[in-house]
Amino acid sequence: MENIPYTRAFRHLSRAWYGPANLSMTDDLDQIWLGIVKSDGGCIAEFCIKWKKLDATWAMKLEIFNNSWKALPEFSDLLQKLSETSGQDLTPDELVTIIRSLGIEDVTEEVNPDPLEYTSADPTPAL
């Protein structure tokens, strides 16, 4: 990775103060965004794990844009843990437990920082 101080972080959308409004605009049950965040702010790369309806169950789907491929090696421990659960239907909370066990920082904003200025319909902030 670049010679910039960074940390690995995640944001659990359904727990975020803006989550219900954002999820209502998708067909996803939930989303967990993971990324490489600079110590002084800003995101270097990110990807998302979404829960999509698949037949009669919810299935996890990894989604990443091509400018964020560099994030994957930084999360090789998480990808290894996920490979060990292949075929299992993990809930979002079960995945959060795994993520936390790997020391990935939870940056989910559960409380609206300025309820007079923002509404739950505001766009999702970048990781």
At 86 the pLDDT is 87
22 in any annotated domain = yes
pLDDT tier, 71 (very low <50, low <70, confident <90, very high otherwise): very high
Q: Model confidence over 100-117: pLDDT tens digits?
A: 999 999 999 888 887 766
**Residue 85 resides in a domain:** yes
Tell me which of 126 and 9 has the higher pLDDT. Answer: 9
Number of domains present in the structure of the chain = 1
Position 87 scores a pLDDT of 83
126 compared with 77, residue with greater pLDDT: 77
Considering the domain boundaries, does residue 118 fall inside one?
no
The pLDDT value given to residue 121: 55
Does residue 69 lie in a domain region?
yes
Q: Over 90: is that where the pLDDT of 57 sits? A: no
Residue scoring higher pLDDT (34 or 124): 34
Give a yes or no: residue 82 inside a domain.
Answer: yes
Residue 28 forms part of a structural domain: yes
Which domain range does residue 45 map to? 6-106
Q: In whole angstroms, how far apart are CA 46 and each of 39, 96, 111, 112? A: 15, 16, 22, 23
Cα dihedral 25, 99, 81, 50 in deg (nearest 10): 0
User: Per the domain annotation, does 63 fall within a domain?
Assistant: yes
Task: Kindly state whether residue 1 falls inside one of the protein's structural domains.
Answer: no
